[in-house]
A = this chain, B = another copy of it.
Amino acid sequence: MKMSQLSAASDTPVATIKFYLRENLLPGGERSSPNQARYDAVHLRRIRLIHGLIDVGGLSVAAARRVIEAIDSELPLPETFEIAQRSVSADLDPATIDAGALARVDALLAGWRVSETNPGRLAAASVLETFEEIGHVDHRGWFAGYAAAALLVAEADLDEVDALPGREAKAETVVVGTVLGDALFSGLRRAAQEHVSSLRYSGSADSEPAPSPNRETPTTKE
């Protein structure tokens, strides 16, 4: 497969593919002569992954590169996981984060085994700090629902990863799931908000009440 074919198959301009090559998002093709190279299905798939990470997942090119390097590395899964997490989180200096906000996050995370430097913990704390700055305080356990939901999603993520065969597949799923999972969840959350507010405010009159919130497909993790 030549460059032009790769371009057509991936619906990506040649100049952009060259850019990805330059940025080490995409490995070079197999050289057939000093200035010719062949590409294959691996490259095509990789381009689609790049588009997913950047366009759908909203990663920067730099973050996408770190994430892809993590997949390609031969590191054990936990390290890959951690690199993926750090690559997609703003790296916050723990020292700059409000101690009170951190304490409130830790209260939400009570009983969880989470390291002090977990980027999610720090990010959550800075969100709580922002809520407080603009005068929104969680009187009623609002955020406890978020923590419970996060646990549910994390169980689903790990179930999926556990079920996959090799390190490569697990690693890619971890990384892709981390990035795209955020986007998927926020979409589903918007849909759920409409659903719940429709149930509460417009009553169950015009359409069937739909009492069973879940589908026929496999069981949710208990």
Give the shortest distance, in Å, between A169 (CB) and chain B (any CB): 9
Given contacts A106-B215, A150-B189, A152-B149, is CB(A130)–CB(B180) below 8 Å?
A: yes
CB neighbours of A62 from chain B (8 A):
none
Please tell me if the beta carbons of A150 and B151 are within 8 angstroms of each other in the complex. Answer: no
Within 8 A of B (CB), among A102-155: 106-116, 118-128, 130-131, 133-136, 138-155
Q: Do A198 and B113 form a contact, CB below 8 Å, given A183-B123, A184-B127?
A: yes
Q: How large is the interface on A (under 10, 10 to 19, 20 to 34, 35 or more residues)?
A: 35 or more
Q: How far is the CA of A150 from the CA of B197 in the complex (A)?
A: 13
Contacting residues, chain B, for A183 (C-beta < 8 A): 123, 127
User: For the complex, would chain A's binding face be called helix, strand, loop or mixed by DSSP majority?
Assistant: helix
| A52 CB within 8 Å of chain B | yes
Encode A166-180 as 1/0 by CB contact (under 8 A) with B.
000000110010101
A171-222 interface (Cβ within 8 A of B):
172-173, 176, 178, 180-201, 207, 209-222
Do residues A141 and B189 form an inter-chain contact, with CB atoms below 8 A? no
CB-based contact A184/B221 at 8 Å:
no
Query: Do B114 and A142 touch across chains, with their CB atoms under 8 A apart?
Result: no
Please tell me if A160 contacts chain B, counting CB pairs below 8 Å.
yes
Which of A122, A146, A199 has its CB near the most chain B CB atoms (within 10 A)?
Answer: A146
Among the listed B130, B172, B219, which residue makes an inter-chain contact with A56, where contact means beta carbons less than 8 Å apart?
Answer: B130
Instruction: List 26 interface pairs A-B (beta carbons < 8 Å), by A numbering.
Output: A51-B130, A78-B197, A89-B190, A109-B188, A112-B195, A113-B218, A114-B194, A118-B190, A127-B180, A127-B183, A127-B184, A128-B184, A136-B176, A140-B163, A142-B156, A142-B157, A144-B156, A145-B153, A146-B188, A148-B152, A149-B156, A149-B185, A150-B191, A154-B196, A162-B200, A178-B193
